[in-house]
Structure 1
Amino acid sequence: MGTNSGRNVIVKNHDENWKNLFQIEANRVREILKDEIIEIHHIGSTSVPNLKAKPIIDMLPVVKNIENIDKYNDQLAEIGYEGLGEFGLPGRRYFRKGGENRTHQMHMYQFDNAKEIERHIAVPAYLRAHEDEMKAYGELKAQLAEKFPNDIYGYMDGKDAFVKEIERKAIEWRKTNKAHYTFNHDN
């Protein structure tokens, strides 16, 4: 059981506008990173139609050289992104917008960090193609948000085993179905 983090855990029904909110921010980030950016993926639960989610837009910018990203911290801060460096994951640059009341998160990786990029892309693609598991995941999140309304750590711990299992299945599934279910980035 986690401790009270003071952060409210809110899980909402899918909002069609999340796609637009992603697109707006992706364009703003592209404008700053220019030649450094290769592509930006909308990842996480807000990228899966009909999936209940915390209303935080997760973005995965894929860049040419992760070391160069630090020099953009000030410009990204001007559009509201707090740069937190690797934030516990080597090879990543993590940015959040909105502080404790986050609206967006960026998990940025260099193009050749295939393992991390694939992990983030595989799960939403898998959930889009497996409605039963997507609905089960949404219900689990709603139940956990009710059980741990002020405890983000209890919420995260509660879904950890489910997420790890979905991630394992998703990566396997993508290996055998890549040609049929490609991930449409920028969407």
Structure 2
Amino acid sequence: MTNHRTPRRPDVTTLDLVGGPESRTLTLHDHDPRWAERYLEERRRILEALVGHEIEVEHIGSTAVPGLAAKPIVDIVVAVDDITAEEDYLDQLIEVGYELRVREPGHRLVRTPQREVHVHIYERGDGAVGDYLLLRDHLREDVQDRALYQGVKQQLIARNWSDMNEYAEAKSEVIAAIKGRARAARA
């Protein structure tokens, strides 16, 4: 579901992966309670940078799920009123030290220079935000799906990936199945 506001301008129509594909060695770490602390630090930083703008900020991804092994990258989702109005959020986030990594239809991604925090920006009401929260909340509650997801991640992490996006795409089938069960459980 997308927002019913009229965007200020047309959104971008292509993927701009700033810096191009990146080859990285991926490792899983046991859950670390410091990830939640790091999220809170970054949340404060984001809220201060975007003071005066109505936004939503949530900790998402595996680092937001106690008991789940994860890449040591804290993922955050920020929902803004208008994704096309980058002047309302992007410059401010860059000013406080984030770097633009992805600009694509409906989504922007900024990250810390050390690449240990990724901030996903969507428009309020975008279905992706709800999907992130659905998956996070379900994995927090469902031990079996949490173990399944961790097992798949451990199998995939052992492979060589020319780009982190390929690793993320390889998890999409299990994520879709888990979200399906989460939706069914909530119905």
| TM-score, reference length from structure 2 | 0.77
| Matching residue of 1:96 | 111
Contact 1:46 1:58 (8 Å CA) reproduced: yes
| Matching residue of 1:182 | none
CA distance in 2 between counterparts of 1:119 and 1:16 reads: 23
What is the SS of the residue equivalent to 1:37? coil
| Matching residue of 1:143 | 155
Q: Deviations over 1:49-98 (max 9, x none)?
A: 0101111111111223333333443331233212246x33x222221223
What residue ranges of structure 2 are gaps of 5+ in the alignment? 1-20
| Matching residue of 2:31 | 14
CA distance in 2 between counterparts of 1:172 and 1:107 reads: 26
Distance 1:31-1:126 versus aligned 2 partners, 3 A rule: same
Identical aligned pairs, as a percentage? 31
Q: 1:39-78 residue pairs with structure 2 within 5 A?
A: 39-78=56-95
Contact 2:80 2:121 (8 Å CA) reproduced: yes
Q: Which moved more, 1:71-80 or 1:42-51?
A: 71-80
Q: Which moved more, 1:76-85 or 1:28-37?
A: 76-85
| TM-score, reference length from structure 1 | 0.77
CA distance in 2 between counterparts of 1:151 and 1:111 reads: 29
What is the SS of the residue equivalent to 1:35? coil
| Matching residue of 2:14 | none
Q: Deviations over 1:113-150 (max 9, x none)?
A: 2x222111100111111111101211221222123376
What is the SS of the residue equivalent to 1:55? coil
Match of 1:159 among 152, 171, 181: 171
Match of 1:107 among 120, 124, 129: 120
| Matching residue of 1:179 | none
| Matching residue of 1:116 | 128
CA RMSD of aligned residues (A): 2.3
Letter in 2 for 1:6: S
Q: Deviations over 1:5-60 (max 9, x none)?
A: 53111111111000000000000000011121332110111100010111111111
What residue ranges of structure 1 are gaps of 5+ in the alignment? 177-187
Q: 1:72-87 residue pairs with structure 2 within 5 A?
A: 72-84=89-101, 87=103
Q: Report the alpha carbon displacement of residue 161 of structure 1 after superposing the two structures with TM.
A: 1.4
CA distance in 1 between counterparts of 2:29 and 2:66 reads: 12
Contact 2:53 2:88 (8 Å CA) reproduced: no
Q: Report the alpha carbon displacement of residue 157 of structure 1 after superposing the two structures with TM.
A: 4.3
1:132 matched to 2:147? The reply is: no
CA distance in 2 between counterparts of 1:92 and 1:72 reads: 13
Number of positions where the alignment pairs a residue of Structure 1 with one of Structure 2: 167
Letter in 1 for 2:177: E
